[in-house]
């Protein structure tokens, strides 16, 4: 197997013998989820607890701790939320013991479809214990829920109810390995040509070898997987090789008794090792609790392309090296920090703020940002012109009164919006939902080149924030034969800025050939009217009729542009 799985949680007991156990009336059984044995009991149409008493653990309730218990009940079962539940996760402090409803005849939680299929891995986030109690999904085995001290839990196990007898005098309920902790499993190893994948993680998870039986990731099919705990790919704290490549898979974080701050999908790297993570054309989503995703530094190869990430939680990318994160869809995520990666052709729908980090974000498509007043879908606070970084951006306003882009203090005094499209925003300046929010404390000129929509702005904050928006206008050159009136194709047109405008004299505005209609044009913004000078020529042999060079002159109106027709004289 290419992958190596490291369980990062603390094992409270492996249930290899009955020492420390209560309710282990049958003893042990080799029908287990992990290791050599499980602790078992016989409940003949009865209810009872099977639990281990050991080292006191502070599980807290803020932020809470994930507790995992492998349990087995093959009797006839009542519904999962009956009182008591047929399979409940039990915690106790020596005085108070509470069972939390987990599974029954109408509900199975985490179980593999291969391997120890009858076993279910129960999980509880202690931060959610109060909510479960309020919902009526707890059973008091002794003491009271109010008295249960989550800072001093000594008893871990399961509470069972059976509606049938154990067959042949054997057992019908059992408990195996019990773990707690919020860091799930780490996935490493994999070689060149033998890279790890999700199917291998599922196979490792369902192994009954000692230390396996993780209860974190299971396979629904060979391409669809369920997860009920954090996943970390690679390792930052040690020089451990990690190569993971997969495609065309669906990974669902399952809806459990887990708060929004526990699930994550992380990728780590170490400068002393080879670290590869590639995921293509796949979906990572959640059926309930938020999932955060953090891609760290020191990764040799990172490829995320063609994927859908519907996570709820925040997303962050490497800040040390440019990688490729392209053509993905991010739906309903929290904040997104692309870092230095080339974050091109990505669609962002109903997510939190995006923070520009210095990598390119070409053809970014952002819609449905629902922030608070005077916030924007994209925060731009880097000392670089947006030209070549944010070209082709599309912003569509959500229902909240927010802006498309916020310009921070590090934004240059002149930036370009090339081929931007904005829609749904207020066309009036100083509105709570104008396109641009300038909080830089300085004057910034925004040159809108080839844009669609009205680029309104609002200046707020300390200092003298002032926004000047130059709207795009077109310079159009038409070249005709003076005798026939026919368009001249491939006429060479050179137009430069002349003195007296906002551009430096001599800067090229047009340098190219006319099309079949004799036309060539340029669209950009001008802060003031711009005088131009130039020429049109076609004197190259082999192109048909030769023409004398013709001059070009005029002034581009900063509001209306300029159209010029040049009539060329044939040169015999």
The answer on 208 and 114 residing in a single domain is no
Tokens of 235: 């390792």
Asked, for residue 2, whether it belongs to a domain, the answer is no
Question: What tens digit of pLDDT does each residue of 232-254 get?
Answer: 999 999 999 999 999 999 999 99
Q: Average pLDDT of the chain?
A: 94
Any domain includes 154:
yes
Last residue of a domain, one of 437, 470, 503: 470
Ramachandran area for residue 8 (φ above 0: left; ψ -120 to 50: alpha; else beta): alpha
Residue 156 and residue 195 in one domain: no
Q: Is residue 541 very low, low, confident or very high in pLDDT (cuts 50, 70, 90)?
A: low
- Please spell the DSSP secondary structure of 174-242, one letter per residue: EEEEEEE-S--EEEEE-BTTB-B-HHHHHHHHT--STT----SEEESSSSEEEE-S-EEES-SSS---E
388 and 342 in a common domain = no
Please indicate, yes or no, whether residues 303 and 374 belong to a single structural domain of this protein. Answer: no
Shared domain check, 395 and 407: yes
| Structural domain ending residue among the three candidates 180, 195, 226 | 180
pLDDT digits (tens, 9 = 90+) for 447-495: 888 778 888 899 998 677 777 777 778 899 999 999 999 999 999 999 9
Q: What is the CA radius of gyration of the chain?
A: 33
Domain shared by 145 and 240, yes or no: no
88 belongs to a structural domain: yes
Q: Determine contact, residues 50/41, Cβ cutoff 8 Å.
A: yes
Q: Is residue 323 part of a domain?
A: yes
Instruction: Tell me the CATH number at 47.
Output: 2.60.120.260
In the predicted structure, residue 157 carries a pLDDT above the cut 60:
yes
What pLDDT was estimated at residue 462? Answer: 66
User: Residues 87-146: pLDDT tens digits?
Assistant: 999 999 999 999 999 999 999 999 999 999 999 999 999 999 999 999 999 999 999 999
The CATH number assigned to the domain holding 557 equals 2.60.40.1120
Specify if 435 maps to a domain.
yes
Same domain as 215, residue 88: no
Q: How far apart are CA 179 and CA 177, in angstroms?
A: 7
Mean pLDDT value of segment 270-289: 97
Task: Tell me: do 166 and 269 sit in the same domain.
Answer: no
- 347 and 201 in a common domain: yes
Residue 1, pLDDT above cutoff 70:
no
First-last CA distance in the chain: 80
502 located within any domain:
yes
pLDDT tier for residue 420 given thresholds of 50, 70 and 90: very high
pLDDT at 167: 85
Q: Which of 470, 488, 507 is the last residue of a domain?
A: 470
pLDDT in tens, 368-388: 999 999 999 999 999 999 999
Question: In this predicted structure, what is the pLDDT of residue 527?
Answer: 66
| Residues spanned by the domain of 254 | 184-352
The whole-number average pLDDT for the span 506-524 is: 92
Give pLDDT tens digits for 336-380: 999 999 999 999 999 999 999 999 999 999 999 999 999 999 999
Same domain, 112 and 138: yes
- Number of domains present in the structure of the chain: 4
Q: What is the DSSP string of 19-43?
A: TTEES-SSEEES--SSSS-EEEE--
What are the residues whose beta carbons fall under 8 Å from the beta carbon of 146, sequence distance 6 or more?
A: none
Mean pLDDT of 166-192: 94
Q: Are residues 211 and 143 in the same domain?
A: no
Shared domain for 370 and 505, answered yes or no, is no
pTM of the model: 0.85
Q: Is residue 3 part of a domain?
A: no
10-24 per-position pLDDT tens digit: 999 999 999 999 999
318: pLDDT strictly greater than 60? yes
Percent of the chain at pLDDT exceeding 90: 86
Q: What is the pLDDT of residue 544?
A: 73
What tens digit of pLDDT does each residue of 395-409 get? 999 999 999 999 999
């Amino acid at each position: 197997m290419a992958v190596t799985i490291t369980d990062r949680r603390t094992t409270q007991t492996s249930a290899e013998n009955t020492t420390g156990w209560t309710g282990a009336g049958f003893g042990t059984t080799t029908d287990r989820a992990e290791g050599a044995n499980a602790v078992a009991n016989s409940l003949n149409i009865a209810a009872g607890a099977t639990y281990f008493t050991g080292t006191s653990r502070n599980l807290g309730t803020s932020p809470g701790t994930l507790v995992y218990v492998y349990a087995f009940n093959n009797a006839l079962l009542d519904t999962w939320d009956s009182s008591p539940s047929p399979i409940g996760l039990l915690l106790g402090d020596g005085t108070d013991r509470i069972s939390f409803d987990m599974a029954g005849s109408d509900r199975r939680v985490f179980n593999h479809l291969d391997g120890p299929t009858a076993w279910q891995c129960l999980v509880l986030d202690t931060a959610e214990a109060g909510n479960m109690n309020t919902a009526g999904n707890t059973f008091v085995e002794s003491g009271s829920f109010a008295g249960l001290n989550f800072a001093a839990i000594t008893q871990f196990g399961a509470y069972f109810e059976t509606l049938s007898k154990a067959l042949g005098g054997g057992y019908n309920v059992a408990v195996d390995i019990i773990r707690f902790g919020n860091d799930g499993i780490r996935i490493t190893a994999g070689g060149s040509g033998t890279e790890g994948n999700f199917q291998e993680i599922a196979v490792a998870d369902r192994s009954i070898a000692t230390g396996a039986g993780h209860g974190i990731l299971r396979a629904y099919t060979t391409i669809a997987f369920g997860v009920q705990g954090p996943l970390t790919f690679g390792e930052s704290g040690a020089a451990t090789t990690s190569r993971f490549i997969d495609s065309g898979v669906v990974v669902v974080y399952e809806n459990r008794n887990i708060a929004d701050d526990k699930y994550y999908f992380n990728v780590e790297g170490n400068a002393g090792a080879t670290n590869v993570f590639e995921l293509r054309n796949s979906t990572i989503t959640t059926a309930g609790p938020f999932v955060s995703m953090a891609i760290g530094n020191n990764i040799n190869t990172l490829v995320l392309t063609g994927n859908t990430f519907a996570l709820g939680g925040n997303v962050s990318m490497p800040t040390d090296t440019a990688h490729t994160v392209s053509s993905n869809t991010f739906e309903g995520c929290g904040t997104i920090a692309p870092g230095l990666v080339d974050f091109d052709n990505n669609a962002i729908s109903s997510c939190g703020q995006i923070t520009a980090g210095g990598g390119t974000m070409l053809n970014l498509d952002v819609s449905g940002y629902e922030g608070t007043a005077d916030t924007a879908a994209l925060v731009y606070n880097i000392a670089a012109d947006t030209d070549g970084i944010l070209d082709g951006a599309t912003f569509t306003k959500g229902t909240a009164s927010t802006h498309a882009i916020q310009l921070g203090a590090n934004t240059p005094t002149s930036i370009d919006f090339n081929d931007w499209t904005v829609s749904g925003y207020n066309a009036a300046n100083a509105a709570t939902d104008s396109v641009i929010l300038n909080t830089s404390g300085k004057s910034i000129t925004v040159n809108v080149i080839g844009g669609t929509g009205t680029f309104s702005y609002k200046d707020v904050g300390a200092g003298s924030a002032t926004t000047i928006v130059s709207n795009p206008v077109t310079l159009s050159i038409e070249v005709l034969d003076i005798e026939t009136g026919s368009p001249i194709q491939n006429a060479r047109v050179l137009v430069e800025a002349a003195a007296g405008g906002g551009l430096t004299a001599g800067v090229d505005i047009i340098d190219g050939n006319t099309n079949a209609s004799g036309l060539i044009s340029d669209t950009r913004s001008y802060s003031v009217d711009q005088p131009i000078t130039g020429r049109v020529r076609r004197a190259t042999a082999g192109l048909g009729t030769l023409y004398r060079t013709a001059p070009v002159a005029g002034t581009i109106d900063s509001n209306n542009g300029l159209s010029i027709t040049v009539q060329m004289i044939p040169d015999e």
